[in-house]
Structure 1
Amino acid sequence: MDWRTFAEQMATLARDLLAQDTVTTTLERITASATRLVPGCDAAGILILHGKGVQTLAPTDQLVIDSDQLQERLREGPCFDAARRQNEERVFRIWDFRDDQPRWPAYVPQARELGIGSMMGFLLFTEGEDLGALDLYSRSPRAFTEAGETAGWLLASHAAVAFSSARTHAQLEQAVSTRHVIGEAMGILMGSHHLTEEQAFDVLRRYSQDHNVKLREVARRICERGGLD
């Protein structure tokens, strides 16, 4: 592996990731880069845990989705474990799916039938924040070398920072948008019912609680209809 070329590609990727404007485009750039930068990688995706379920983000191949769904159904697998951060490990791997794997006895034989030959999973994390796992797959057994693992780990480190930054930016944009919608809805209520700002917000809050509808959704309905039903 040409580490000089790899370092130049990683530097370019780091700049590109910071330039992405949405979480989706950031993740798609990460997984596409994995198949290009990590030797032996045929497919990549990001697995996120939601309660007892999993979500596959930015998969480059159907193989990734099938593997994640299999791990979710069986409640075991290297990427599933990485996302759960079991045993404080940050890298999980199966070098050869032809070998028995006592750690994942149900997952490995069924994943082999999907056409997976080897795989690695890297925990995506920043300080105090676990984000999921970056999953790298190969259709060939023993496709990943130690150099490939190092490359994957470096990519995952860059990916975690970019993912966290993009998600924070998206959350801030949503918060600003929500505040704007709620303010507009309060203005409609204040004008149509001669309410104070505090009274208008109280109407929104009580309607949200009584009807089990999020405050933003209540405000959106008021803005669209000119008032509450």
Structure 2
Amino acid sequence: MKWREYAEQMALLARNLLAQDSVQATLDEIAASAVRLVDGCDAAGILAVRKGRAVTLAAHGDMVRESDRLQGELGEGPCFDLAHGEGGQRVYRIADLTEPQPAWERYASGARELGVGSMTGVLLYTDDADFGALNLYARQPGTFGEDIEVAGWLLASHAAVALADARTIDQLEHAMETRHAIGEAMGILMERHRLSEDDAFQVLRRISQHHNIKLRDVAQRVRTDRTDPA
């Protein structure tokens, strides 16, 4: 794909990513877009490392989850190391996986059995934290040359903006839902027990603290069960 055409595709991608309605939908679209936009890319996924464990956040193509599972079991691999922050890397590229890979010998052997011939990845990060690694797979060795690093950065940059936006929207929606649930539960208690607004809130708060349950969950129980929280 020529760079002008790729730039136009990136502009379309930016609009498409920002149109997604959740963080998960954004992650899924990032992976799907990588396969659609990058020449020779057969599969793509987003891998995160949480408390030392590999977690597949998105996968487009069968080999992605198998590759992530293998790296998680072995505790090694280019995607795993990148997502884990090993060596301070922001990008990796394996042009030909059929050649020896001393850093990931066990993973490379397993990846070849999965049909992976070439790999590349770039770190996805928002303004406050690393999100994970966007990894691209090709069955054909030699697919990803040096140009892919620039293309990967462009894709990851657009993805990071969309992720930050999606996370903000999710947080706002969650906050609004929580406020609505608590307000409705307070109204039920006020009507049932003739409590003031402040007293109703304090009842919910005390139950939350005493039973170590989130305030929103206490409110939801009052709303759905219509039971006395005491």
Q: TM-score range by the shorter chain?
A: over 0.9
Where does residue 22 of structure 2 map in the other structure? 22
Where does residue 41 of structure 1 map in the other structure? 41
Task: Report if the CA contact (8 A) 2:126-2:163 is conserved.
Answer: no
- Written as runs of structure 1 = structure 2, the 5 A alignment for 1:159-198 is 159-198=159-198
Task: Report if the CA contact (8 A) 1:82-1:90 is conserved.
Answer: yes
SS in 2 for 1:97: coil
SS in 2 for 1:59: strand
How far residue 93 of structure 1 moved from its aligned partner, in angstroms, is 2.4
- Written as runs of structure 1 = structure 2, the 5 A alignment for 1:1-229 is 1-228=1-228
Q: Aligned equivalents of 1:221 and 1:9: distance in 2?
A: 47
Q: Which amino acid aligns with 1:114?
A: L
SS in 1 for 2:132: strand
SS in 1 for 2:116: coil
More off after superposition, 177-186 vs 25-34? 25-34
Q: Which amino acid aligns with 2:99?
A: D
Task: Report if the CA contact (8 A) 1:54-1:68 is conserved.
Answer: yes
More off after superposition, 84-93 vs 161-170? 84-93
How far residue 14 of structure 1 moved from its aligned partner, in angstroms, is 1.2
Q: Which amino acid aligns with 1:22?
A: S
Q: Which amino acid aligns with 2:126?
A: T
Q: Aligned pairs, how many? A: 229
Task: Report if the CA contact (8 A) 1:90-1:123 is conserved.
Answer: yes
Q: 5+ unaligned residues in a row in structure 2: which ranges?
A: none
Q: Aligned equivalents of 2:158 and 2:111: distance in 1?
A: 28
SS in 1 for 2:222: helix
How far residue 184 of structure 1 moved from its aligned partner, in angstroms, is 0.9
Normalization by structure 1: what TM-score? 0.92
SS in 1 for 2:105: coil
SS in 2 for 1:64: helix
Q: Aligned equivalents of 2:32 and 2:166: distance in 1?
A: 17
How far residue 2 of structure 1 moved from its aligned partner, in angstroms, is 0.9
Q: Aligned equivalents of 1:193 and 1:225: distance in 2?
A: 16
Q: Kindly, what percent of the aligned residue pairs are identical?
A: 58
How far residue 133 of structure 1 moved from its aligned partner, in angstroms, is 1.1
How far residue 169 of structure 1 moved from its aligned partner, in angstroms, is 0.7
Task: Report if the CA contact (8 A) 1:131-1:164 is conserved.
Answer: no
